[in-house]
């Protein structure tokens, strides 16, 4: 797999919660940090995402905003 995105974070799927249209996928990275993504249910099913499977969280964004109170 080759991607232009530099932020490719390998981890294991911790959980997948399917909704009617979208699925919430939690990927646990090495060290215990977690990334949560909302993808279409069709994509989650096509990728056969299930707890324990290897997956990559790929982040490509032109902006990352940070806010504080």
Q: Is residue 47 part of a domain?
A: yes
Residue 47: both structure tokens together: 């990728």
pLDDT at 23: 97
Asked if the structure places residue 44 within a domain, the reply is yes
Q: What is the pLDDT of residue 50?
A: 96
Tell me, yes or no, whether 1 lies in a domain. Answer: no
58: in domain = no
Decide if 20 is inside a domain: yes
| Domain count within the chain | 1
Count other Cβ atoms within 10 Å, centred on residue 23.
Answer: 19
61 falls within a domain: no
13 — pLDDT class (breaks 50, 70, 90): very high
Nearest in space to 61 (alpha carbons), one of 1, 7, 2: 7
Read off the CATH number of the domain in which 15 is found: 2.40.50.100
Contact 22, 38 (CB under 8 A): yes
- Residue 16 in any domain: the answer is yes
pLDDT in tens, 18-63: 999 999 999 999 999 999 999 999 999 999 999 999 999 998 877 7
Tokens encoding 38: 């909302």
pLDDT at 6: 82
Residue 66 has pLDDT above 90, yes or no: no
User: Where in the sequence is the domain holding 34, given as residue range(s)?
Assistant: 7-52
């Amino acid at each position: 797999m080759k991607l232009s995105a530099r932020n490719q974070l390998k981890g294991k799927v911790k959980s997948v919660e399917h909704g009617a249209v979208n699925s919430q996928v939690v990927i646990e990275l090495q060290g215990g940090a977690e990334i949560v993504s909302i993808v279409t249910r069709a994509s989650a099913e096509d990728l056969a995402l299930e707890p324990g499977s290897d997956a990559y969280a790929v982040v490509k964004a032109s902006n990352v905003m940070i806010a504080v109170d």
